Amino acid sequence: MILDLQHIFKDYNQDKLVVPVLKDVNLQVEEGEYVAIMGPSGSGKTTLMNIIGCLDRPTSGAFELAGTNILTLKDKELSNVRLNSIGFVFQSFHLMPKETALENVSLPLSYAGVKKKERKERALKALTRVGLEDRATFMPTQLSGGQKQRVAIARAMVNNPKILLADEPTGALDSKSGAQIMELFQKLNDEGVTIVMITHDSNIASHAKKVYNIIDGEISQAAEKEEDHEEKN
């Protein structure tokens, strides 16, 4: 089991008022799964993603990532988990605007202390994996939205994380580029990459093999996917 969240609660304190955001969330993701978490804005899906991404800590509950109890880790150890076990993909790409595609992709490697030569090789390999090897020296401003997101995916994949965590990966893209990103996710998943995708868009969510709905901080497995339907019918 890659992800194991048990009875996760998360409250925010706002002006002495305690606002519950996540209420008893249970979520298990197996290695190689492709999961979408779908919900409207304000449903708590971003908070859940921050917890899964080890950026935030729940108020209570238990969370294991690849068998490691995340909640007892110190800040520095959490940094290492983010570095080695999680690959982030954001809605707005978050590329360094003054760095080339290759430099952007090799950024996590430099935090991992990888030597310069190896960094370049591995970054180039990651760019090849997303089909952008010929754009290595391009600046983000010279890339289209879809290409930028693919650079961001290469950056997320470069350290071979245990899980790829995507927050509205197609939210800033036109439908054609969005479809290409979904194709890429499918390809990566076929190669064995575990993907957790957060979205409000049911069309995007339908690309995943398993869809969870999150509404008002409560999670539930959504309308069964086709293969499940087939099984039931």
Partner 1 sequence: MLENIRLSFKGIWSHKMRSFLTMLGIIIGIAAIIAIVSTIKGTNEQIKENLIGSGDNTVEISLYQGDWTYEMGYEGIPAGVPVINSQMMEEIKNIDHVVGASAYLSRQEYEVYHLNTSISGGNVLGVDNSYFSTCNFIIRRGRGFSEKDYSQFRKVALLDKDSSDALFQGEDPLGKTIEIKKEPFVVVGIVEKSKVFEPTINSIEDYYTYSQDASGKIYIPNSTWPIIYQFDEPQNLVIEVESTDDMTNAGKSAADILNSYVTTSDETLKYKAEDLLEQAKQIQQLSQSTNSMLIWIAGISLIVGGIGVMNIMLVSVTERTQEIGLKKAIGAKKSNILGQFLTEAAVLTSMGGIMGVVSGIILAEIISRLSEMPVAISVPAAVGAVVFSMAIGIVFGVFPSYKAAALDPIEALRRE
- If the CB atoms of residues 165 and 222 are measured against partner 1, the closer one turns out to be 165
CB of residue 22 to partner 1, shortest distance in Å: 14
Whole-angstrom distance, CA of residue 87 vs CA of residue 196: 10
Q: Compute the distance between CA of residue 56 and CA of residue 147 in angstroms, rounded to an integer.
A: 29
Q: Whose Cβ is closer to partner 1: residue 108's or residue 146's? A: 108
Largest CA distance in the chain: 56
Is 75 or 134 the residue whose CB approaches partner 1 more closely? 75
**Least distance (Å) from partner 1 to the CB of residue 224?**
33
Q: How far is the CB of 221 from partner 1 (least distance, A)?
A: 27
Q: Residue 117 or 232: which CB sits closer to partner 1?
A: 117
Contacts of 74 (CB under 8 A, 6+ apart): none
Shortest CB 151 distance to partner 1, Å: 13
Residues of the chain by 3-state class (helix, strand, coil), percent to 5? 40, 25, 35
Residues that bind partner 1 (CB under 8 A): 50, 53, 55-56, 75-76, 79-80, 82-84, 87-88, 90, 92, 94, 96, 98, 107-108, 110-112, 155-156, 159
Four-point Cα dihedral 40, 46, 48, 52, nearest 10: 140
Write down the least CB distance from residue 96 to partner 1, Å.
6
- 8 A C-beta contact, residue 198 and residue 168: yes
In the bound state with partner 1, the residue whose beta carbon lies nearer, of 167 and 222, is 167
